């Protein structure tokens, strides 16, 4: 959520079925991802495509997730890059949002390099999702990660960032999303004038919530 931005970005998880996914072929059109081509696509996303962003399938790196897959942070990072490449190979006109994953700050910086090694310059992407941070958004490490990535010139999108997290890093995020407003609306009476049962999917309620939240943040 950015001050002055009228549209809030919605986290649209496009999950491809693992069984159907294909690895990226050697003929992957990397030229479309780099340099002018990548910058051109960035412009097209914001002016012509009605879908603002579609987050790729990322592989979370929280320890309890790694325990379930039996894989390393590096493995999950590599699979996340592969997910982006796979989706771009299927349709590079769609506004796929790459996602950074990791656990330590150094992990995230390495993940930026892993994308770069595949020809993907994250500093020219309109938005880059930040994964595996929402459950620890008040920790010093999370703040350090956001500061480091922002310092690299990456336009970060925070997934599920709460008000307490926003108070610390809102100036370093380009956008963020949250379902907190809908969760609250589900447990409240609808706004005066609303005819639906609850305001859990109500734009009016969401915008009121957004304005109140932005006004509560420090300058
Ligand atoms: Zn409503």
Higher pLDDT among residues 162 and 68, named by residue: 68
Distance 167 CA to ligand 1 centre (A): 27
Residue 138: what pLDDT?
79
Residues 143-157, mean pLDDT to the nearest whole number: 96
Distance 184 CA to ligand 1 centre (A): 12
Distance 5 CA to ligand 1 centre (A): 21
Distance 209 CA to ligand 1 centre (A): 12
* CA dihedral sign, ordered 43, 155, 120, 77: negative
Distance 183 CA to ligand 1 centre (A): 13
Distance 173 CA to ligand 1 centre (A): 28
Strand partners of residue 176: 158
Distance 16 CA to ligand 1 centre (A): 33
Rg (CA), the chain: 18
pLDDT digits (tens, 9 = 90+) for 67-86: 999 999 999 999 999 999 99
Distance 15 CA to ligand 1 centre (A): 30
Distance 196 CA to ligand 1 centre (A): 6
Indicate the angle between helix axes 105-117 and 140-151, nearest 10 degrees.
Answer: 30
pLDDT digits (tens, 9 = 90+) for 34-80: 444 454 444 444 455 578 889 999 999 999 999 999 999 999 999 99
| Dist CA 47 CA 37 (whole Å) | 16
| Dist CA 70 CA 14 (whole Å) | 24
Residue 21: what pLDDT?
34
Q: What are phi and psi of 54, to 5 degrees?
A: -130, 110
Distance 106 CA to ligand 1 centre (A): 44
Kindly tell me if the per-residue pLDDT of 7 is higher than 90.
no
Residue 72: what pLDDT?
97
190 closest CA partner among 179, 180, 203: 203
Kindly tell me if the per-residue pLDDT of 154 is higher than 90.
yes
pLDDT digits (tens, 9 = 90+) for 12-28: 333 323 333 333 333 33
Q: How far is CA 173 from CA 144, 200, 210, in A?
A: 13, 25, 15
| CATH architecture, domain defined by 30-178 | Alpha-Beta Barrel (3.20)
Pull the structure tokens for residue 39: 């910058």
- Where exactly are the structural domains of the chain? 30-178, 180-219
């Amino acid at each position: 959520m950015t001050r002055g931005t009228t549209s809030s970005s919605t986290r649209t998880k496009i999950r491809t079925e693992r069984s159907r996914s294909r690895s990226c072929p050697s003929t992957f059109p990397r030229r479309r991802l780099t340099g002018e081509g990548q910058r051109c696509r960035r412009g097209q996303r914001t002016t012509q495509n009605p879908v603002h962003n579609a987050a790729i399938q990322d592989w979370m790196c929280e320890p309890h997730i790694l325990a379930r897959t039996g894989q390393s942070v590096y493995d999950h990072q590599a699979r996340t890059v592969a997910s982006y490449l796979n989706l771009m190979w299927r349709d590079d006109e769609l506004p796929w949002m790459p996602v950074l994953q990791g656990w330590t700050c150094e992990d995230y910086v390495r993940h930026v390099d892993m994308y770069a090694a595949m020809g993907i310059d994250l500093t020219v992407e309109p938005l880059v999702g930040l994964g595996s941070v929402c459950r620890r958004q008040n920790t010093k490490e999370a703040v350090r990660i956001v500061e480091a990535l922002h310092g690299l010139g990456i336009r970060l999108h925070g997934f599920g960032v709460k008000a307490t997290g926003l108070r610390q890093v809102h100036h370093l995020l380009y956008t963020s999303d949250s379902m907190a407003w809908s969760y609250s609306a589900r447990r409240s009476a609808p706004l005066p004038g609303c005819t639906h049962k609850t305001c859990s999917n109500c734009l009016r309620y969401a915008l009121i919530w957004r304005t109140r939240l932005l006004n509560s943040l420090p300058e």
